[in-house]
Amino acid sequence: MRTATSPSASAADSVVQPVRTLLIYLVLGVLFGIVLTKSQVISWFRVQEMFRFQAFHMYGILGSAVITAAAGLQIIRRRELRSLDGQAIVIPPKDMGRGTRYWLGGTIFGLGWALVGACPGPLLALLGSGVGVMAVALMSAIAGTWVYGALRSRLPH
């Protein structure tokens, strides 16, 4: 019940609000972790099957996720929905530049995806579902991002 309108209550509200929002992110993350695990997106074998075009499963998940997300974005735009804190929802466009970072960075990531058999979300989910050695893969991924940050000014983008 939000009936109090005294200054002290609204001050408390501004502190409570971010925590409440963080809880939403946590719940959505939990949902994502369960879905990734139960749909076997996190399976090394499924990733191999995908890159060998031997099942529709992973393409079905990626495709239907994109279509659902696109429909959600359309509804947000058409109805000019606002976020829970009352802000206009804005999606910043990505800068293409020369495009090198996208195809080259993407290819490097894809190579790693095939070897370790998991992209970032699934790496976390694998650790959660009990493949402990994925902690090493995650540490290595963080190191990889750090090395990119160190070399960034010398790489073509």
Q: Binding to another protein (CB under 8 A): which residues in 28-47?
A: 28-47
Query: How many Å is the Cα radius of gyration of the chain?
Result: 20
Quick note: the x/- pattern for another protein over 76-105, rule CB under 8 A, is: x----x-xxx-x-xxx-xxxx--x-xxxxx
Q: Which is nearer to another protein, 4 or 59 (CB)?
A: 59
CB of 58 to another protein, least distance (A): 8
Nearest to 135 by CA among 146, 124, 121: 124
Q: Quick one: 118 exposed, middle or buried, by C-beta within 10 A (0-12, 13-18, 19+)?
A: buried
24 binds another protein (CB under 8 A): yes
How many Å apart are CA 121 and CA 41, to the nearest integer?
10
- DSSP secondary structure code for residue 154 in this structure: G
Q: Which is nearer to another protein, 4 or 147 (CB)?
A: 147
15 binds another protein (CB under 8 A): no
Quick note: the x/- pattern for another protein over 116-155, rule CB under 8 A, is: xxxxxx-xxxxxxxxxxxx-xxxxxxxxxxxxxxx-xx-x
Among 9, 11, 12, 107, binds another protein (CB under 8 A): 107
Among 10, 49, 78, 154, binds another protein (CB under 8 A): 49
Tell me what percent of the chain is helix, strand and coil, each rounded to the nearest 5.
70, 0, 30
Number of residues that bind another protein (CB under 8 A): 116
Angle at 41 between CA 55 and CA 125, to 5 degrees: 165
